[in-house]
Amino acid sequence: MTTTLIRKSIKLMTSNLLKPIPYKIKDSENGKDYYFITDKGYRYNLYYTDAQGYFGDNPIGENSLTFGLELVGGELPRGIDPRIGATVAKFLAGTFNADTTLTILYVCDTKDEREFKRETRFDRWFKEYNDGSVVQRKIANKAKLPAYLFYHVNHPNPKAVDNAVLEITEKINQYLP
């Protein structure tokens, strides 16, 4: 039994050592958003906006945000930088650890028709870097618009979150032919 515990501890320590170190997140010049700069000099903005309008009468709407990640200027970097995913995961987890009543809506940007690549990357980041404190709910819809609702594992009203996922799905679907 002791051998099993030691092996599990070593495995956990090794897996944590192999995870990339997140970039340093800084306050942006406007005082509302955040940013980080990659080793290759790319700047990414991290921001939240009010999401209450998405939730109608659902009580979680009062404490809900949308999340955005934006590359500032330039072309998309080539290759994969695992530190970006680690940084985004740390940012979201930090937000939820500060307020477990929050819900955060993330809709993959469609302006350049790369929403499904964003979805794949975001899914991978979530699986690789989530520390277990954040729950991810995919919002399935007829448009196949990649969208997620995130909340803290100890959210005080998970039933309202489940209802919100259904309500947002209905809203998206009602605007489709």
* pLDDT score of 19: 79
Q: Where are the beta strands (DSSP E) in 25-171?
A: 26-27, 34-37, 43-50, 64-72, 103-107, 134-138, 147-152
pLDDT of residue 83: 95
| pLDDT tens digit sequence for 92-109 | 999 999 999 999 999 888
- DSSP, res 137: E
Cβ neighbors of 88 (< 8 A, separation 6 or more) are 46, 69, 122, 125, 129
- Residue 71: pLDDT above 50? yes
- Which of 9, 24, 157 lies closest to 91, judged by CA? 24
List the domain boundaries for the chain. 20-174
Task: Please determine, for residue 16, whether its predicted confidence score (pLDDT) is greater than 70.
Answer: no
- Who contacts 32 (Cβ-Cβ below 8 Å, separation ≥6)? 47
Q: Does pTM surpass 0.75?
A: yes
Q: Determine the pLDDT at residue 32.
A: 86
* Collapsed DSSP state (helix, strand, coil) of residue 110: coil
Per-residue pLDDT tens over the stretch 28-63: 988 889 999 999 999 999 999 999 888 888 889 999
